[in-house]
Amino acid sequence: MKHRPSLPLQLFIITVLPLTALLLLIAFGSLGLHQRAMRHMVGERDERATRAAASAITEQINHRRSAIRSVALHAANVDAGPVHALADAAFLLPDFEGGMALFAASGERLAASTDAALWQTYALPERAASVGRESYFLPSVTDPESGETFTLVAATEGEVTAVGAFSATSLARRALADIFGGHEQAAVYVVTAEGDTLYHTGMLAWGDTPPLAQPGVTDALRGESGATYLTIDGEEYVIAFSPISPVGWALVLAEPWRAASDPLLRTTELAPLILIPALLVSLLALWFGARQVVRPLQSLEQKATQLGWGDFAAIEEPVGGINEIQRLQTELIHMARKVQLAQQSLRGYLGAVTTGQEEERRRLARDLHDDTIQSLIALNQQIQLAQMAGAAADADEATADRLATMQQMAGQMMADLRRLIHDLRPIYLEDLGLVPALQMLARDMGQTMEIPVSFASTGREQRLPPDVELGLYRIAQEGLRNVARHAQANRAELRLAFTETAVYLTIQDDGRGFVVPESPAQIAAAGHFGLLGVQERAEAMGARLQIESAAGAGTALTVCRPLMT
C-alpha cells in the first residue's frame, strides 16, 4: 500500500515552507530594492552637495576677482595716488590673507598692504602681459616667509595692475564647512590642474594615490560634474565631483554610501531578520503540534488498525498527546471492550455453527463413503462382469465400447467422490496430525492447480487442539483455493513453523498480488470474500491474520496462533 507523507511533513511542505520562502523573497527583494534606492539617493545627494559647494567656492572666488578689479579701477582713476587708493580698499583685506598690491606696467611695485617677499619674487607684470585680460588668476605660490600657499588674482586697468593673494585652503574650509561639516566618514578635497591638493579633510580610502590619479579628479578638471561608484575592500564608495571653473580646480567628495544613509534607514535593513524568530516560532509550533497532536493521532490510528485486525491489547497502550486525544483513546478502549465481549459471544455462536458444520460434513462424508462409494464399487463390478460375459458371447464391438465408457465414468466418479469426501473430512488430519495433513494437501492441491506447491515444516512439531488443527487446515485449504482462483501464480508455498510461544501458518505465492485493505471492514467491500472467511476462522480460534501483498509482487498470508501454556 502506498503511504502518503506524514501530516507534519505535509504541513511543512504545503504551508510553512512556501510561506517562509515567500516572506524571504519579499523581505530580501524589498531589501535589495531599498539598498539600490539608498545607493542612488546618496549618489544624487552627494552630487547635488558637491555642485552646491563648487558653486559656493566659485562665488567667493568671483567675489575676490571683482574686488581686485574694483581696486584696479580705483587706482587707475584716483588722483591721490596708488597708496591712497590701496588704503581706500583696506576693507577688502579680510578676503585676501596674503594682502594686496599695485604694480606699474614696468613692474615697479607702487603700493602694497604688506611687505611680504611674495611681491618681490613673483613677476606679476610679465605674467599679466602674457595673459592679456582685464582680470585673471595666476598659479598658486608659496610665501617664503610663512610657507603658506596663496592663490593670486590680478586685474589690469590702464597702466596699473592690482593683485590680491588669498588662501585657497581657508576659502575652501569656510565654504565647505557648512555643507560637509557633519560628514565624519566623508573625504573632501580640492585639487588644482597642476596636481596640488589645496584642501583635504577626511580619510581617503585609496591612501597615497597621486591627486591626479584619484577617482573623479580628472573628470572634474575636464569641466564635468557627476557621481560614480567605486568598491574598495568590499566597501562601495560614492565619488561625487564638480569643477570650480574660474580657477580650473576639482572638488571631489568620497564616502561609503551605506554610512551616509540615515541610521534609522540602515536599521530597516535588519527588518528581514525578524523572519528568523518567526520561522523558529513556526517550527516550534509545528514541532509541538507533531509531538502532541499528530504523532499521538498517528499512533492511535495504527492501534485502531490493529484493533480492527483483532489485536485488542494494542489499543490499551497509552499514546499520550493532548487531553482530547487521550479522551478519544479512552472511548476507543471502552468501545473495544464492548466489541470484544460481543465477539466472544459471536465466536461461541460461530464455534457452535462451525462444529455443527464439521459434524454435518463428517456425516455426509461417512454416508458418501458407506453408501454412494459402495454402490459405485458394486456398479463398477457389474460392468466388469458384463464385459466378461460379452467377451465370452462374442458381443458386438459397439456394446463393448459402451461398457468400457461406463466403467471409465464409474472410476472417475469414484475418484471425484473420494476427493470430495477427503475435503469434507480430512482423514489424515484426524489420524496423523496437522503436518502430514498439510503435506498431503499441498500435494493434492498442486495436482489440482497444475502448479508446484511446496510444503515445509520447522520447529518442534506437536499436536494442537483438534479445533485449532482443523481451523489451520481449513485456512490452508481456503488460501490455496484463492491462489488457484485469483493469483495467476507460477508456484505456491505452504509453511508451518512451531516456536516456543506460537504456531505460524503461511501461504505464499508469486502471483499478481493486490492492494491490501486497511481494515477487515474493507475486505468484504473489496470483494475478497475468501479472505473474509480466513479472517473469521482466525478470530474464531484466537489467531491473528497478517496479509502482505502488492501489485505484481505476490501475496503472503500468515496466521499466528499462540500456544497455550
Query: What's the pLDDT tens digit per position in 77-101?
Result: 877 678 888 888 888 888 888 888 8
Give 558's pLDDT tier (boundaries 50, 70, 90).
Answer: very high
Residues 407 and 459 in one domain: no
**Considering its fold, how many domains does the chain have in total?**
3
Average pLDDT over every residue of 284-295: 73
| DSSP-derived 3-state class of residue 110 | strand
Please choose, from the candidates 248, 252, 251, 250, the residue with its C-alpha nearest in 3D space to the C-alpha of residue 137: 248
Report the distance separating Cα 355 and Cα 467, nearest Å.
9
Continuous H helices in 199-256:
217-221
pLDDT, residue 495, reads 93
Residues 41 and 154 in one domain: yes
Q: How many CB atoms lie within 10 A of CB 106?
A: 7
210 in any annotated domain: yes
On the question of pLDDT at 129 being above 70, the answer is: no
- Please give the residue that has the higher pLDDT: either 412 or 518: 412
Which phi-psi region, left, alpha or beta, contains residue 320 (left: φ > 0; alpha: ψ -120 to 50)?
left
The share of the chain scoring above pLDDT 90, in percent, equals 5
Residues 65 and 134 in one domain: yes
Residue type, 261: S
- Please give the residue that has the higher pLDDT: either 35 or 462: 462
**Is residue 425 within 8 Å of residue 361, measured between CB atoms?**
yes
On the question of pLDDT at 236 being above 90, the answer is: no
Residues 57 and 99 in one domain: yes
86 in any annotated domain: yes
Report the distance separating Cα 265 and Cα 259, nearest Å.
11
Residues 403 and 459 in one domain: no
Residue type, 247: V
556 in any annotated domain: yes
On the question of pLDDT at 132 being above 50, the answer is: no
Q: From residue 29, how far is each of 23, 34, 256, 279, 297 by CA, in Å?
A: 10, 8, 22, 18, 40
Q: Which helix (H) or strand (E) holds 545?
A: strand 544-549
| Range in 75-79, 490-494, 555-559 with the lowest mean pLDDT | 75-79
Cell of 398: 459397439
Answer with the one of 365, 400, 425 that is the final residue of a domain: 425
Q: What is this structure's pTM? A: 0.47
- Find the CATH number of the domain harbouring 455: 3.30.565.10
385 in any annotated domain: yes
Cell of 179: 555643507
151 in any annotated domain: yes
Residues 50 and 147 in one domain: yes
Residues 185 and 252 in one domain: yes
Instruction: List the domain range (segments joined by +) for residue 237.
Output: 37-262
pLDDT digits (tens, 9 = 90+) for 414-460: 777 777 766 766 766 777 888 888 888 888 888 888 889 999 999 88
282 in any annotated domain: no
pLDDT, residue 2, reads 44
Average pLDDT over every residue of 469-477: 87
Answer with the one of 212, 231, 262 that is the final residue of a domain: 262
Answer with the one of 425, 455, 473 that is the final residue of a domain: 425
Residues 183 and 138 in one domain: yes
- Please give the residue that has the higher pLDDT: either 292 or 62: 62
**Is residue 154 within 8 Å of residue 68, measured between CB atoms?**
yes
26 in any annotated domain: no
pLDDT digits (tens, 9 = 90+) for 328-363: 878 888 887 887 777 666 666 666 666 676 677 767
Sorted by sequence, the CB contacts under 8 Å of residue 311 that are 6+ apart come out as: 544
Cell of 70: 574694483
On the question of pLDDT at 497 being above 90, the answer is: yes
Report the distance separating Cα 294 and Cα 282, nearest Å.
16
Kindly report the average pLDDT of the chain as a whole number.
77
| Range in 160-174, 180-194, 223-237 with the lowest mean pLDDT | 180-194
Residues 452 and 535 in one domain: yes
Report the distance separating Cα 470 and Cα 225, nearest Å.
106
On the question of pLDDT at 242 being above 70, the answer is: yes
**Is residue 492 within 8 Å of residue 509, measured between CB atoms?**
yes
Residues 192 and 98 in one domain: yes
Residues 420 and 436 in one domain: no
Residues 488 and 550 in one domain: yes
pLDDT, residue 506, reads 94
Strands (E), 245-369: 249-256
31 in any annotated domain: no
| Range in 15-24, 87-96, 146-155, 214-223 with the lowest mean pLDDT | 15-24
The share of the chain scoring above pLDDT 70, in percent, equals 75
